[in-house]
Structure 1
Amino acid sequence: MERRNVSRQAGVAPDGQEDLEQEPAHRQGGLGDDKINVCILLFLYVLQGIPLGLAGSIPMILQNHHVSYKDQAVFSFVNWPFSIKLLWAPAVDSLFWRRLGRRKTWLIPTQYLIGLFMVLLSSSVASLLGEDGGHPNVYLLTTLFFCMNFLAATQDIAVDGWALTMLSRRNVSYASTCNSVGQTAGYFLGNVVFLALESADFCNKYLRIVPQEEGLVTLSSFLKFWGVIFFITTTLVLLFKTEKEERISDEIGIRDTYVKLYRILCLRNMWLMVAFLLTCKVAFAATDAVTGLKLIEAGVQKENLALFAVPMVPLQILLPFLISKYTAGPRPLSVFLTAYPFRLAFGLLFAALLWWTHQVKLESGGFPVYYYIVILSAFALQQVTVYGMFVALMAFFANVSDPAIGGTYMTLLNTVCNLGGNWPSTTALWMVDALTFKACSEPTLSCDTKELAAKCVESGHECLIRADGYYVETVACILFGFLWLRWGRGAVRRLQNLPPSAWKCPSHARMKMVV
């Protein structure tokens, strides 16, 4: 590999982008020659979303195999690579083989490896999930999907950077559109479409005339199909798509990129911001991470739960535009604080809806139509509070990010924000079993451990849940949320009252004096 100087952080244009050559006048207006490039980018982002969607579907499949919530917590680590990709993004931007191309150096091997992972995994995923009668091998599943998402995150860094030179200057704004639309479509295919086609009940009800015992696809066949698509697509990109030569004279290297991060963290108010971001989502951990799994445990079919995403798509597209007019200005976090207590209230609402789920369940095992209408309405209303907080945070990040640091500043804030959502979710899943208290229907027996619970069942009795850890967690998280809100209001006031100069990074000379 060849090491070159860079300043472009993953997905963000470099400070010197305005120096790119102007497009000829006759090519201005419309996409022009960029139509093919937009299609290529869009499909690359779709491919990126496939492993993410599959990783999102595995917990629902595991829940049907009655794994513990600690196992679900272990598997939740597969979501972490996209939250910590800043750690290796400078290397992806800086190291490359000139003959292959700066972005293809990373794109080609990562996509081939993702395809290889999928093909190899397709031959053993059934046994790993315990479909042969054994217990799911959660740790090996976690390792494999973590590696696949690590590769997808690396591919994301390469594609984000390539988009800035693949598209002409006047069309570079389409890069973010390709990212959001493509990744969402890929996730939809790997999650919603897969779960629907994998379900025998769904296929027999909507897609078949003669009922069968299996769905139209299995996880094995789905993985193999997309593994082959990855191989074909990567080969076509390798052979037929060339990169434009990038200007690198004004760019800096890996070491200087990490120095930028250190300079940001030297700011006193940045530690208040980090504390704010790492704790603000603790109050929603049980609701966000556990509710869906509890609904499946209560009897809601996983494919029906996944299909809730379909009507959410237009809502998720419209909400940022509607909310953005309220977050414009110097105090966007005021919207964050306004939405916070309403999102807390949804924690209580979903706990009540889970209890109601058990009450309205039909003898056939299904649920009445009005049940799904109520649940879908609750999820839709919750999205208003979720996006209210999200858009407010993004607006604040844009306001305070020091332009002199380029995209590094914004990327760091986004990374911390993502971590602030991941670690509470993993912890919430891990603690559900520990906070659940069971008792054997026979008073002389116990269900305190797996061995004692098995003995209770073998004796012809059953373990009854006396206190569900989900409800315990929900109440604890909401209480924490109201306590956090008292501190959060003061923190927001201090952060929003800081002058712009407080967010400027110290110069190299000043840093040397501090050290």
Structure 2
Amino acid sequence: MTTHPDGPNQQRRRRQAHQDDLAEFANGKQSRPDALATSLESISVQPRTPKTPRDRQWGEDGSMDEVELSLLNKGEPREDGADAKDVKRPMSARDRRAIILLIILYLIQGFPLGSSVTQHSTGSLPFLLREHLSYSQLATFSLTTYPYSLKLFWSPIVDAIYTPALGRRKSWIIPMQLLVGSIMAILSFYADQMMQSPAEYINVLTAAFTTLVLLSATQDIAVDGWALTLLSEDNLSYASTCQTIGLNTGYLMSYTVFLALNGQAFAEKWGIPRLELSTYLVFCSIISFGTTVWLLFEKEDEDEDVGMSIKSVYKTMWSICSLKHVRTLLIVHLFAKIAFQAHDAVTSLKMVEKGLGREDLAVAVLIEFPFSILGGWLAGLWSRGDRPLDAWIKSYWPRLALTLASTLTVYWFPKPPISTAFFVLIIVETVASSFASTIQFGGMAAFHTRVSDPVVGGTYMTLFATFSNLGGTWPKYFVLKGVDFFSVATCQIGDDLVVQAAECVSEHGKAACTELGGQCVTERDGYYTVSAVCLGLGVLSVVFYMIPTARKLQAVPPSRWRVFS
């Protein structure tokens, strides 16, 4: 028997009837039409969560499948879709508890990091060492920050190996914090002796704090991965806020508070005992041990067992790096901070060198702290939705302008005593620069949480964080070396004898010149040369690469960043 095809009018009527059924079904006005009974029978629609990412149907050009679009357009607004993205849901008690937990865990990292290097400047120990060492010797100590920038290489191990009884993330967080507390306790017995003759112990100090940063970096891998499942999807952007608040609080304690209480003038002014480095290390050790004990009583939700070996995680990491847009983002991270390197590594040291007291600088950073917290909170709000990099992009130009302003401030720095007006100017520049930097940091971190695949969250987040940190670390050594290299200084003894002395760029060298009856005279300060080079390269990269590339990256659909469906 031969079946005749329907005529054009009949086909058109059937298509119209089918579309009407679809529309009514999408609007919930009727039950599933018979025509869809077999095709939709096996489909299960689940909400998008960190553990169960929804696999949207995106086309090769990044557009959503037409059928899904038609259903969304005709139906009610999806709760997790674009129509409801601006709906503010109240934060659950679980998320509030998770935020507190994350802040405390990031706080622990701030202790060793704040001693060696802060997020926007140098750490407290380089300030103490600067009185005895040259910039080239400080470059050796700056190597302590490298583990935090290279943690990518062992992050697959953290993702793949764990003890189920303890929890996938706690299996690493707890031992790392115990080791940090133990090393700080041991260092406290020798710290004061080493700080009296730092040139003799520079290698020991570098090795000790490199180990502390290595342990904190490993803990950070686990905490970053935990954040992806600890917070609900609606509040994932607050993971960067937790990191900002936690790390900045740890920095405040190890940098601002310690520098102020360690200063002899501050102690005499307020009639309190001077805080020695050894005492502070004991305090950090106690806090680390106490937090670890508290963490033992925190239950970690059972994580999805993906059954991945270390080898498979490394392969996954290679698969992630094989994505074109991932490689582009990594390049952005490597060079995005070039413009700010001289400012972050040297500007504060130069101000102290020109007469700004350590206590005054500590006050400036103390005033900066609440603005950093505010910046982290605003970055979390600003970065919600589909355009988290807008915060990062729009903060670039103000930060560049403030970097130039800080360099000019060093150039026109008056001789002590510093007037109140000039000190207020320093505070305004410090606060504004830190605020812009925090906004950038929060916006980029929110973008990381948005596109990372939760199945290998530790590796994915660490990949991005590693290159972001590396972008702020690898130039630092060369910047510090460059300041000495481009500087020209002489030791002038009497009216006739002038000796070119490279050591005149350090406080120790200046003291040696003074003992000979001379005075160090800086004919050319390499700081300004290095600052000009960094700012010039930074402006060119921002105009022609950074901002245009960032806009393209955030237009890539989240599903195309996944390596697992």
Query: Do they fold alike, i.e. is TM over 0.5?
Result: yes
1:353 equivalenced with 2:409 (yes/no): yes
1:425 aligned residue? 476
Q: Quick check: 1:41–1:178 contact (8 Å CA) kept in 2?
A: yes
Which position in structure 1 is the counterpart of 2:71?
none
Match of 1:60 in 2: 127
> Which residue does 1:155 correspond to in 2?
219
Following superposition of structure 1 onto structure 2, how do residues 312-351 of structure 1 map, counting pairs within 5 Å?
312-319=368-375, 322=378, 339-351=395-407
Per-residue deviation, residues 235-255 of structure 1 (Å, max 9, x unmatched) = 5655xx264562444453332
CA RMSD, Structure 1 to Structure 2 (Å): 4.1
Q: Distance in 1 between the 2:241 and 2:551 partners?
A: 34
Deviations 1:252-298 (A, max 9, x none): 33323222221122234544433332122112211111101111112
Asked if 1:119 is matched to 2:174, the reply is no
CA deviation profile, 1:325-379 (whole Å, cap 9, x unmatched): 877777766765554444333333212211332x2412xxxx2322221101112
**1:495–1:446 CA distance, 2 compared to 1 (3 A):** farther
Deviation at 1:145, TM superposition (A): 0.8
Q: CA deviation at 1:323?
A: 6.1
Which residue number in structure 2 is paired with residue 220 of structure 1? 278
In the alignment, residue 137 of structure 1 is paired with which amino acid? Y
Unpaired runs of 5+ residues, structure 1, are: 1-12, 19-28, 509-515
Corresponding residue to 2:349 among 293, 296, 303 = 293
Aligned to 2:260: 196
- Segments of structure 2 that go 5 or more residues without pairing to the other structure are 1-48, 55-89, 117-122
> 2:532 pairs with 472, 475, 480, which one?
475
Counterpart CA distance in 2 for 1:410 and 1:202 is 41
**Which protein has the larger Cα radius of gyration, Structure 1 or Structure 2?**
2
Deviation per CA, 1:411-440: give whole Å up to 9, x if none. Answer: 423321221111122321222111111133
Matched to 1:70, the amino acid is: S
Alignment of 1:378-389 (within 5 A): 378-389=429-440
Q: Aligned equivalents of 1:399 and 1:33: distance in 2?
A: 20
Q: 1:156 to 1:283 in 2, by over 3 A?
A: closer
TM-score normalised to the size of structure 1? 0.76
Instruction: Measure, in 2, the Cα distance between the counterparts of 1:87 and 1:275.
Output: 17
Structure 1 residues 332 and 220, CA gap change in structure 2 (3 angstroms) = closer
1:35-434 aligned within 5 A:
42-55=103-116, 56-63=123-130, 65-98=131-164, 100-129=166-195, 131=196, 135=199, 137-160=201-224, 179-205=243-269, 207-208=270-271, 215=274, 217-235=275-293, 237=295, 241=297, 243-244=299-300, 246-319=302-375, 322=378, 339-357=395-413, 359-362=414-417, 367-394=418-445, 397=448, 408-434=459-485
**Cα shift at 1:464:** 1.1
1:464 equivalent to 2:528? Answer: no
Q: What is the distance in 1 between the residues matched to 2:386 and 2:289?
A: 48
Q: Give the C-alpha shift of residue 177 in structure 1.
A: 5.8
Alpha-carbon spacing, 1:477–1:407, altered in 2? closer, same or farther (3 Å): same
Which range is displaced more, 441-450 or 431-440?
441-450
SS of match in other structure, 2:159: helix
Deviation string for 1:152-195 (max 9, x for gaps)?
Answer: 22233344556678889999998766554333323322222222
Give me the whole-angstrom Cα distance separating, in 1, the residues matched to 2:504 and 2:261: 38
Partners of 2:391 and 2:224 lie apart in 1 by 30
Q: CA deviation at 1:499?
A: 5.4
1:430-487 Cα offsets, whole Å, 9 max, x none, are 2211111113335654324459979965653233111111111111222222333443
- C-alpha distance 300-136 of structure 1, shift in aligned 2 (>3 A): farther
Taking the aligned partners of 1:166 and 1:345, their CA distance within structure 2 comes to: 38
Name the structure 1 match of 2:544.
Answer: 487
Aligned pair in 2 of structure 1 residues 42, 343: CA closer, same or farther (>3 Å)?
closer
Query: 2:321 and 2:472 mapped to 1: Cα distance?
Result: 20
- Classify the secondary structure of the residue corresponding to 1:383: helix
Q: Which residue of 2 aligns with 1:26?
A: none
Residues 319 and 384 in structure 1, CA contact (< 8 A), matched pair in contact too? yes
With over 3 angstroms needed to count, the CA separation of the structure-2 counterparts of 1:461 and 1:476, relative to structure 1, is: same
The alignment's TM-score, normalised by the length of structure 2, stands at 0.70
Is the contact made by 1:335 and 1:389 (CA closer than 8 Å) also made in structure 2? yes
Q: Tell whether the 8 Å contact from 1:57 to 1:191 is kept in structure 2 after alignment.
A: yes
The residue type paired with residue 419 of structure 2 is P
SS in 1 for 2:133: coil
Please give the alpha-carbon distance, in whole angstroms, between the structure 1 residues aligned to 2:101 and 2:388.
36
- Cα distance between partner residues in 1 of 2:222 and 2:230: 12
- Could you tell me whether the CA contact under 8 Å between 2:383 and 2:443 is conserved in 1? yes
Letter in 1 for 2:416: K
Q: Percent identity?
A: 34
CA contact (8 A) 2:244 2:376 kept: no
How many aligned residue pairs are there? 471
Amino acid at match of 1:59: P
Higher mean displacement: 430-439 or 318-327: 318-327
How far the C-alpha of 1:199 sits from its partner, in A, is: 1.9
Residue type of the partner of 1:469?
Answer: G
